[in-house]
Structure 1
Protein backbone atom coordinates (compact mmCIF):
# COMPACT_ATOMS: atom_id res chain seq x y z
CA UNK A 1 0.00 0.00 0.00
CA UNK A 2 1.17 3.55 -0.72
CA UNK A 3 0.54 6.89 0.98
CA UNK A 4 1.49 10.09 -0.86
CA UNK A 5 4.13 12.45 0.49
CA UNK A 6 3.02 15.97 -0.40
CA UNK A 7 4.42 19.47 -0.27
CA UNK A 8 2.92 21.08 2.82
CA UNK A 9 2.16 24.24 0.85
CA UNK A 10 0.31 23.34 -2.34
CA UNK A 11 -0.19 19.67 -1.42
CA UNK A 12 1.05 18.20 -4.71
CA UNK A 13 2.46 14.67 -4.29
CA UNK A 14 6.24 14.40 -4.65
CA UNK A 15 6.70 10.89 -3.29
CA UNK A 16 5.01 7.86 -1.75
CA UNK A 17 5.66 5.80 1.36
CA UNK A 18 5.09 2.07 1.06
CA UNK A 19 3.42 0.09 3.83
CA UNK A 20 3.06 -3.64 4.48
CA UNK A 21 -0.45 -4.44 5.63
CA UNK A 22 -2.37 -7.65 6.11
CA UNK A 23 -6.11 -7.99 6.38
CA UNK A 24 -8.32 -9.91 8.75
CA UNK A 25 -12.00 -10.21 9.53
CA UNK A 26 -11.73 -7.53 12.20
CA UNK A 27 -8.89 -5.31 10.97
CA UNK A 28 -8.39 -4.22 7.37
CA UNK A 29 -4.97 -2.65 7.88
CA UNK A 30 -3.06 -4.79 10.35
CA UNK A 31 0.72 -4.42 10.28
CA UNK A 32 2.31 -7.73 9.39
CA UNK A 33 5.33 -6.84 11.52
CA UNK A 34 3.12 -6.78 14.61
CA UNK A 35 2.03 -10.31 13.80
CA UNK A 36 5.57 -11.60 13.33
CA UNK A 37 7.29 -9.65 16.11
CA UNK A 38 7.49 -12.59 18.49
CA UNK A 39 7.25 -15.43 15.99
CA UNK A 40 9.93 -14.76 13.36
CA UNK A 41 13.68 -15.12 13.83
CA UNK A 42 16.14 -12.39 12.86
CA UNK A 43 16.99 -14.18 9.61
CA UNK A 44 13.32 -14.61 8.73
CA UNK A 45 12.56 -10.97 9.50
CA UNK A 46 15.49 -9.77 7.38
CA UNK A 47 14.46 -11.96 4.44
CA UNK A 48 10.87 -10.73 4.66
CA UNK A 49 12.01 -7.12 5.00
CA UNK A 50 14.07 -7.35 1.81
CA UNK A 51 11.31 -9.18 -0.04
CA UNK A 52 8.73 -6.55 0.91
CA UNK A 53 10.99 -3.70 -0.19
CA UNK A 54 11.64 -5.41 -3.51
CA UNK A 55 7.91 -5.99 -4.14
CA UNK A 56 7.11 -2.41 -3.16
CA UNK A 57 9.71 -1.12 -5.63
CA UNK A 58 8.35 -3.29 -8.44
CA UNK A 59 4.74 -2.25 -7.76
CA UNK A 60 5.65 1.41 -7.41
CA UNK A 61 7.71 1.85 -10.55
CA UNK A 62 5.22 -0.19 -12.56
CA UNK A 63 2.53 2.41 -11.86
CA UNK A 64 4.59 5.52 -11.07
CA UNK A 65 2.70 8.62 -12.28
CA UNK A 66 5.89 10.42 -13.29
CA UNK A 67 9.66 10.17 -13.45
CA UNK A 68 10.47 12.26 -10.39
CA UNK A 69 8.37 10.95 -7.47
CA UNK A 70 10.40 9.29 -4.72
CA UNK A 71 9.64 5.96 -3.07
CA UNK A 72 10.05 5.79 0.72
CA UNK A 73 10.79 2.30 2.00
CA UNK A 74 11.10 1.37 5.68
CA UNK A 75 13.93 -0.78 7.01
CA UNK A 76 12.94 -3.15 9.81
CA UNK A 77 14.58 -2.52 13.18
CA UNK A 78 16.00 -6.06 13.41
CA UNK A 79 18.04 -5.53 10.25
CA UNK A 80 20.10 -2.73 11.85
CA UNK A 81 21.93 -5.02 14.23
CA UNK A 82 21.48 -8.42 12.61
CA UNK A 83 23.33 -7.51 9.40
CA UNK A 84 27.02 -7.17 10.21
CA UNK A 85 27.96 -4.76 7.43
CA UNK A 86 27.50 -3.61 3.83
CA UNK A 87 23.86 -2.67 4.39
CA UNK A 88 22.14 -2.02 1.09
CA UNK A 89 24.48 -4.08 -1.11
CA UNK A 90 22.01 -6.94 -1.57
CA UNK A 91 19.05 -4.64 -2.15
CA UNK A 92 21.00 -2.52 -4.63
CA UNK A 93 22.03 -5.64 -6.55
CA UNK A 94 18.38 -6.73 -6.84
CA UNK A 95 17.23 -3.30 -8.01
CA UNK A 96 19.99 -3.05 -10.60
CA UNK A 97 19.10 -6.48 -11.96
CA UNK A 98 15.48 -5.33 -12.34
CA UNK A 99 16.49 -2.05 -13.97
CA UNK A 100 14.87 0.07 -11.24
CA UNK A 101 16.19 3.58 -10.40
CA UNK A 102 18.06 3.59 -7.09
CA UNK A 103 18.28 7.38 -7.00
CA UNK A 104 14.51 7.66 -6.47
CA UNK A 105 14.46 5.43 -3.38
CA UNK A 106 14.68 6.77 0.18
CA UNK A 107 15.35 4.17 2.88
CA UNK A 108 13.71 5.01 6.19
CA UNK A 109 15.49 4.02 9.39
CA UNK A 110 13.45 3.13 12.50
CA UNK A 111 13.64 5.49 15.49
CA UNK A 112 16.89 4.94 17.38
CA UNK A 113 16.71 3.53 20.87
CA UNK A 114 19.03 4.87 23.59
CA UNK A 115 22.59 3.84 22.79
CA UNK A 116 21.84 3.12 19.12
CA UNK A 117 23.08 6.40 17.68
CA UNK A 118 26.42 4.96 16.55
CA UNK A 119 24.71 1.93 14.97
CA UNK A 120 22.20 4.17 13.22
CA UNK A 121 24.99 6.36 11.84
CA UNK A 122 26.94 3.29 10.68
CA UNK A 123 23.93 1.77 8.88
CA UNK A 124 22.95 5.09 7.29
CA UNK A 125 26.49 5.51 5.97
CA UNK A 126 26.39 1.99 4.53
CA UNK A 127 23.17 2.69 2.65
CA UNK A 128 24.56 5.94 1.28
CA UNK A 129 27.63 4.14 0.02
CA UNK A 130 25.26 1.89 -1.93
CA UNK A 131 23.66 4.93 -3.55
CA UNK A 132 20.50 5.27 -1.45
CA UNK A 133 19.20 8.37 0.27
CA UNK A 134 18.40 7.92 3.94
CA UNK A 135 15.52 9.18 6.09
CA UNK A 136 15.69 9.22 9.88
CA UNK A 137 12.70 9.24 12.23
CA UNK A 138 12.99 11.70 15.10
CA UNK A 139 11.13 11.17 18.38
CA UNK A 140 10.65 14.89 19.00
CA UNK A 141 12.17 18.27 18.10
CA UNK A 142 15.13 17.84 20.47
CA UNK A 143 15.88 14.41 18.99
CA UNK A 144 15.54 15.90 15.49
CA UNK A 145 18.21 18.49 16.26
CA UNK A 146 20.53 15.81 17.67
CA UNK A 147 20.13 13.68 14.54
CA UNK A 148 20.84 16.67 12.32
CA UNK A 149 24.06 17.37 14.19
CA UNK A 150 25.29 13.77 14.40
CA UNK A 151 24.15 12.14 11.18
CA UNK A 152 22.64 14.82 8.88
CA UNK A 153 20.17 12.62 6.99
CA UNK A 154 18.86 13.31 3.51
CA UNK A 155 15.34 13.38 4.96
CA UNK A 156 14.27 14.00 8.55
CA UNK A 157 10.82 12.70 9.56
CA UNK A 158 8.98 14.08 12.58
CA UNK A 159 5.49 13.46 13.95
CA UNK A 160 3.56 16.69 13.35
CA UNK A 161 1.94 16.33 16.77
CA UNK A 162 5.36 16.90 18.37
CA UNK A 163 5.53 20.48 17.04
CA UNK A 164 4.76 22.90 19.89
CA UNK A 165 4.67 26.16 17.92
CA UNK A 166 5.06 27.70 14.49
CA UNK A 167 8.30 29.26 15.68
CA UNK A 168 9.72 25.85 16.61
CA UNK A 169 8.76 24.47 13.22
CA UNK A 170 10.34 27.43 11.42
CA UNK A 171 13.55 27.05 13.44
CA UNK A 172 13.78 23.32 12.69
CA UNK A 173 13.02 23.88 9.01
CA UNK A 174 15.72 26.55 8.82
CA UNK A 175 18.25 24.20 10.39
CA UNK A 176 17.32 21.47 7.90
CA UNK A 177 17.67 23.84 4.95
CA UNK A 178 21.08 24.95 6.15
CA UNK A 179 22.28 21.34 6.24
CA UNK A 180 20.58 20.29 3.00
CA UNK A 181 18.09 17.99 4.75
CA UNK A 182 14.46 17.67 3.70
CA UNK A 183 12.01 18.04 6.59
CA UNK A 184 9.00 15.71 6.35
CA UNK A 185 6.11 15.92 8.82
CA UNK A 186 4.20 12.68 9.32
CA UNK A 187 0.85 12.04 10.99
CA UNK A 188 -0.58 15.32 9.71
CA UNK A 189 -4.26 15.11 10.58
CA UNK A 190 -5.46 18.44 9.22
CA UNK A 191 -4.53 20.14 5.94
CA UNK A 192 -4.93 23.57 7.55
CA UNK A 193 -1.62 22.99 9.31
CA UNK A 194 0.01 24.35 6.13
CA UNK A 195 -0.41 27.83 7.57
CA UNK A 196 1.47 26.96 10.76
CA UNK A 197 4.86 28.15 9.54
CA UNK A 198 6.36 30.66 7.15
CA UNK A 199 8.66 27.88 5.92
CA UNK A 200 5.75 25.61 4.86
CA UNK A 201 6.78 25.79 1.20
CA UNK A 202 10.04 24.00 2.07
CA UNK A 203 8.39 21.21 4.10
CA UNK A 204 6.95 17.87 2.99
CA UNK A 205 4.07 16.17 4.77
CA UNK A 206 1.93 13.05 4.82
CA UNK A 207 -1.09 11.99 6.76
CA UNK A 208 -4.83 11.50 6.85
CA UNK A 209 -5.40 15.20 6.16
CA UNK A 210 -5.04 14.18 2.52
CA UNK A 211 -4.69 10.44 2.10
CA UNK A 212 -4.91 7.00 3.60
CA UNK A 213 -2.62 4.25 2.28
CA UNK A 214 -4.03 2.67 -0.87
CA UNK A 215 -2.92 -0.09 -3.23
CA UNK A 216 -2.82 2.30 -6.19
CA UNK A 217 -0.95 5.59 -6.50
CA UNK A 218 -2.57 9.00 -6.41
CA UNK A 219 -2.10 10.79 -9.71
CA UNK A 220 -0.48 14.25 -9.52
CA UNK A 221 -3.67 16.07 -10.55
CA UNK A 222 -6.06 14.03 -8.42
CA UNK A 223 -8.33 16.11 -6.22
CA UNK A 224 -8.22 15.80 -2.46
CA UNK A 225 -10.39 17.06 0.39
CA UNK A 226 -8.61 19.99 2.00
CA UNK A 227 -10.82 19.80 5.09
CA UNK A 228 -10.35 16.06 5.64
CA UNK A 229 -9.43 15.30 9.24
CA UNK A 230 -10.01 18.87 10.50
CA UNK A 231 -11.93 19.23 13.71
CA UNK A 232 -15.57 19.90 12.90
CA UNK A 233 -14.89 19.78 9.19
CA UNK A 234 -13.72 23.41 9.27
CA UNK A 235 -12.37 24.68 5.99
CA UNK A 236 -11.31 28.22 6.88
CA UNK A 237 -7.61 29.03 6.89
CA UNK A 238 -6.11 28.85 10.36
CA UNK A 239 -3.68 31.34 11.80
CA UNK A 240 -0.27 29.97 12.88
CA UNK A 241 -1.25 29.89 16.55
CA UNK A 242 -4.46 28.02 15.82
CA UNK A 243 -2.70 25.45 13.66
CA UNK A 244 -0.04 24.92 16.32
CA UNK A 245 -2.70 24.33 18.95
CA UNK A 246 -4.37 21.82 16.66
CA UNK A 247 -1.09 19.96 16.27
CA UNK A 248 -0.57 19.76 20.02
CA UNK A 249 -4.07 18.47 20.68
CA UNK A 250 -4.04 15.66 18.12
Structure 2
Protein backbone atom coordinates (compact mmCIF):
# COMPACT_ATOMS: atom_id res chain seq x y z
CA UNK A 1 0.00 0.00 0.00
CA UNK A 2 1.30 3.46 -0.89
CA UNK A 3 1.49 5.49 2.30
CA UNK A 4 0.99 8.84 0.57
CA UNK A 5 -2.61 9.88 1.01
CA UNK A 6 -3.37 7.06 3.45
CA UNK A 7 -6.16 7.96 5.88
CA UNK A 8 -5.28 8.11 9.60
CA UNK A 9 -7.87 8.44 12.37
CA UNK A 10 -6.56 9.78 15.70
CA UNK A 11 -8.74 8.91 18.71
CA UNK A 12 -7.38 10.84 21.70
CA UNK A 13 -9.03 13.16 24.23
CA UNK A 14 -5.96 15.44 24.45
CA UNK A 15 -6.43 18.33 22.02
CA UNK A 16 -2.69 19.08 21.98
CA UNK A 17 -1.83 15.52 20.96
CA UNK A 18 -4.45 15.57 18.21
CA UNK A 19 -3.12 18.91 16.88
CA UNK A 20 0.48 17.67 17.02
CA UNK A 21 -0.35 14.48 15.14
CA UNK A 22 -2.50 16.27 12.57
CA UNK A 23 0.28 18.72 11.72
CA UNK A 24 3.06 16.11 11.71
CA UNK A 25 1.19 13.40 9.80
CA UNK A 26 -0.29 15.84 7.28
CA UNK A 27 3.26 17.05 6.66
CA UNK A 28 4.17 13.48 5.66
CA UNK A 29 1.31 13.20 3.18
CA UNK A 30 -1.32 11.49 5.35
CA UNK A 31 -4.97 12.54 5.52
CA UNK A 32 -5.88 12.94 9.19
CA UNK A 33 -9.24 12.89 10.97
CA UNK A 34 -9.78 13.23 14.72
CA UNK A 35 -12.08 11.99 17.47
CA UNK A 36 -12.02 12.92 21.17
CA UNK A 37 -14.06 9.99 22.58
CA UNK A 38 -14.39 6.26 22.01
CA UNK A 39 -17.97 6.53 20.77
CA UNK A 40 -17.06 9.31 18.33
CA UNK A 41 -14.05 7.27 17.21
CA UNK A 42 -16.16 4.21 16.39
CA UNK A 43 -18.56 6.37 14.39
CA UNK A 44 -15.63 7.94 12.52
CA UNK A 45 -14.23 4.50 11.62
CA UNK A 46 -17.55 3.60 9.98
CA UNK A 47 -17.88 6.95 8.17
CA UNK A 48 -14.29 7.80 7.34
CA UNK A 49 -12.96 4.25 6.67
CA UNK A 50 -9.39 5.00 7.78
CA UNK A 51 -6.39 2.91 6.70
CA UNK A 52 -4.92 3.01 10.21
CA UNK A 53 -6.17 4.12 13.65
CA UNK A 54 -4.07 5.74 16.40
CA UNK A 55 -5.87 5.12 19.70
CA UNK A 56 -5.32 6.38 23.25
CA UNK A 57 -6.38 3.98 26.01
CA UNK A 58 -7.48 6.65 28.50
CA UNK A 59 -10.62 8.05 26.90
CA UNK A 60 -13.33 9.95 28.83
CA UNK A 61 -16.30 7.76 27.90
CA UNK A 62 -14.80 4.26 27.68
CA UNK A 63 -11.47 2.49 28.01
CA UNK A 64 -9.50 2.10 24.78
CA UNK A 65 -9.61 -1.69 25.26
CA UNK A 66 -13.39 -1.56 24.92
CA UNK A 67 -12.99 0.47 21.71
CA UNK A 68 -10.68 -2.23 20.28
CA UNK A 69 -13.04 -5.06 21.25
CA UNK A 70 -16.04 -3.32 19.70
CA UNK A 71 -14.06 -2.39 16.61
CA UNK A 72 -12.82 -5.95 16.07
CA UNK A 73 -16.42 -7.19 15.89
CA UNK A 74 -16.65 -5.69 12.39
CA UNK A 75 -13.33 -4.12 11.30
CA UNK A 76 -9.76 -5.35 10.73
CA UNK A 77 -8.31 -1.82 10.33
CA UNK A 78 -4.83 -1.70 11.96
CA UNK A 79 -4.83 -0.07 15.41
CA UNK A 80 -1.73 1.52 16.96
CA UNK A 81 -2.10 2.24 20.67
CA UNK A 82 -0.54 5.54 21.79
CA UNK A 83 -0.68 5.60 25.58
CA UNK A 84 1.07 6.68 28.78
CA UNK A 85 0.48 3.16 30.14
CA UNK A 86 3.89 1.55 29.82
CA UNK A 87 3.62 -1.70 31.79
CA UNK A 88 4.05 -4.97 29.90
CA UNK A 89 0.66 -6.17 31.18
CA UNK A 90 -1.08 -3.17 29.56
CA UNK A 91 0.68 -3.80 26.25
CA UNK A 92 -0.16 -7.51 26.29
CA UNK A 93 -3.80 -6.80 27.17
CA UNK A 94 -4.16 -4.33 24.29
CA UNK A 95 -2.43 -6.59 21.75
CA UNK A 96 -4.46 -9.62 22.85
CA UNK A 97 -7.63 -7.53 22.47
CA UNK A 98 -6.76 -6.92 18.81
CA UNK A 99 -4.40 -3.93 18.63
CA UNK A 100 -1.61 -4.21 16.06
CA UNK A 101 1.07 -2.17 17.79
CA UNK A 102 1.80 -0.16 20.93
CA UNK A 103 3.75 3.10 21.35
CA UNK A 104 4.16 4.77 24.76
CA UNK A 105 3.96 8.50 25.45
CA UNK A 106 6.14 10.53 25.30
CA UNK A 107 6.95 9.23 21.83
CA UNK A 108 9.30 9.90 18.95
CA UNK A 109 7.51 11.02 15.77
CA UNK A 110 10.04 9.05 13.74
CA UNK A 111 9.15 5.87 15.60
CA UNK A 112 5.42 6.49 15.23
CA UNK A 113 5.79 7.08 11.48
CA UNK A 114 7.73 3.80 11.17
CA UNK A 115 4.98 1.94 13.06
CA UNK A 116 2.33 3.50 10.79
CA UNK A 117 4.24 2.35 7.69
CA UNK A 118 4.53 -1.17 9.16
CA UNK A 119 0.78 -1.26 9.91
CA UNK A 120 -0.03 -0.15 6.37
CA UNK A 121 2.28 -2.83 4.94
CA UNK A 122 0.54 -5.43 7.09
CA UNK A 123 -2.85 -4.28 5.83
CA UNK A 124 -1.63 -4.40 2.21
CA UNK A 125 -0.34 -7.94 2.82
CA UNK A 126 -3.70 -9.29 3.97
CA UNK A 127 -4.66 -10.12 0.35
CA UNK A 128 -4.26 -13.71 -0.83
CA UNK A 129 -0.59 -13.30 -1.74
CA UNK A 130 1.18 -16.69 -1.95
CA UNK A 131 4.74 -15.28 -1.80
CA UNK A 132 5.87 -12.86 0.92
CA UNK A 133 9.13 -10.89 0.71
CA UNK A 134 11.17 -9.41 3.56
CA UNK A 135 14.26 -8.05 1.79
CA UNK A 136 16.49 -11.17 1.35
CA UNK A 137 13.93 -13.45 3.05
CA UNK A 138 11.26 -15.04 0.82
CA UNK A 139 8.37 -17.18 2.10
CA UNK A 140 6.42 -19.13 -0.53
CA UNK A 141 3.19 -20.09 1.26
CA UNK A 142 1.88 -22.27 -1.58
CA UNK A 143 5.04 -24.43 -1.66
CA UNK A 144 5.87 -24.02 2.06
CA UNK A 145 9.33 -22.97 0.89
CA UNK A 146 11.61 -20.46 2.63
CA UNK A 147 14.71 -18.95 1.02
CA UNK A 148 17.32 -16.46 2.19
CA UNK A 149 19.01 -14.90 -0.82
CA UNK A 150 19.32 -17.83 -3.25
CA UNK A 151 19.61 -20.48 -0.53
CA UNK A 152 16.65 -22.60 0.50
CA UNK A 153 16.27 -22.88 4.28
CA UNK A 154 15.16 -26.20 5.73
CA UNK A 155 12.65 -25.65 8.54
CA UNK A 156 10.90 -28.15 10.79
CA UNK A 157 7.07 -28.09 10.57
CA UNK A 158 6.87 -26.17 13.87
CA UNK A 159 9.50 -23.63 12.80
CA UNK A 160 7.62 -23.08 9.55
CA UNK A 161 4.25 -22.60 11.32
CA UNK A 162 5.81 -20.07 13.67
CA UNK A 163 7.45 -18.14 10.81
CA UNK A 164 4.25 -18.29 8.72
CA UNK A 165 2.13 -16.82 11.54
CA UNK A 166 4.59 -13.96 12.00
CA UNK A 167 4.83 -13.39 8.22
CA UNK A 168 1.06 -13.23 7.75
CA UNK A 169 1.01 -10.53 10.43
CA UNK A 170 4.13 -8.72 9.18
CA UNK A 171 4.97 -5.61 11.17
CA UNK A 172 2.41 -6.48 13.84
CA UNK A 173 3.42 -7.43 17.38
CA UNK A 174 2.14 -10.92 18.21
CA UNK A 175 2.09 -11.69 21.93
CA UNK A 176 3.60 -14.85 23.39
CA UNK A 177 0.08 -16.13 24.07
CA UNK A 178 -1.14 -15.45 20.53
CA UNK A 179 1.80 -17.31 18.97
CA UNK A 180 1.67 -20.26 21.37
CA UNK A 181 -2.07 -20.64 20.79
CA UNK A 182 -1.69 -20.44 16.99
CA UNK A 183 1.26 -22.83 16.67
CA UNK A 184 0.98 -25.25 19.58
CA UNK A 185 -2.67 -24.87 20.61
CA UNK A 186 -4.54 -23.36 23.62
CA UNK A 187 -3.13 -25.82 26.23
CA UNK A 188 0.37 -24.43 25.57
CA UNK A 189 -0.33 -20.70 25.75
CA UNK A 190 1.77 -20.23 28.89
CA UNK A 191 4.80 -22.26 27.71
CA UNK A 192 6.92 -19.24 26.79
CA UNK A 193 10.15 -21.29 26.85
CA UNK A 194 8.91 -23.14 23.73
CA UNK A 195 8.86 -19.83 21.88
CA UNK A 196 12.33 -18.79 23.04
CA UNK A 197 13.81 -22.07 21.81
CA UNK A 198 12.11 -21.97 18.40
CA UNK A 199 12.72 -18.25 17.83
CA UNK A 200 16.41 -18.92 18.55
CA UNK A 201 16.42 -21.79 16.03
CA UNK A 202 14.69 -19.65 13.38
CA UNK A 203 17.14 -16.79 13.86
CA UNK A 204 20.09 -19.15 13.33
CA UNK A 205 18.52 -20.19 10.02
CA UNK A 206 17.21 -16.90 8.56
CA UNK A 207 19.30 -14.10 10.11
CA UNK A 208 22.74 -13.05 8.84
CA UNK A 209 23.67 -12.32 12.46
CA UNK A 210 21.32 -14.11 14.91
CA UNK A 211 22.56 -11.97 17.81
CA UNK A 212 21.48 -8.79 15.96
CA UNK A 213 18.32 -9.84 14.12
CA UNK A 214 16.91 -7.73 11.27
CA UNK A 215 13.74 -9.75 10.66
CA UNK A 216 12.68 -11.51 13.87
CA UNK A 217 12.37 -8.70 16.40
CA UNK A 218 11.79 -9.22 20.13
CA UNK A 219 9.33 -6.94 21.94
CA UNK A 220 10.66 -7.47 25.50
CA UNK A 221 8.16 -9.11 27.83
CA UNK A 222 5.41 -8.94 25.18
CA UNK A 223 6.14 -11.00 22.06
CA UNK A 224 7.68 -10.86 18.58
CA UNK A 225 7.23 -9.24 15.18
CA UNK A 226 8.58 -10.00 11.71
CA UNK A 227 9.95 -7.14 9.59
TM-score band, normalised by shorter chain: 0.3 to 0.5
TM-score under structure 2 normalisation? 0.33
Report which structure shows greater RCO (CA 8 Å, sep ≥6): 1
TM-score under structure 1 normalisation? 0.30
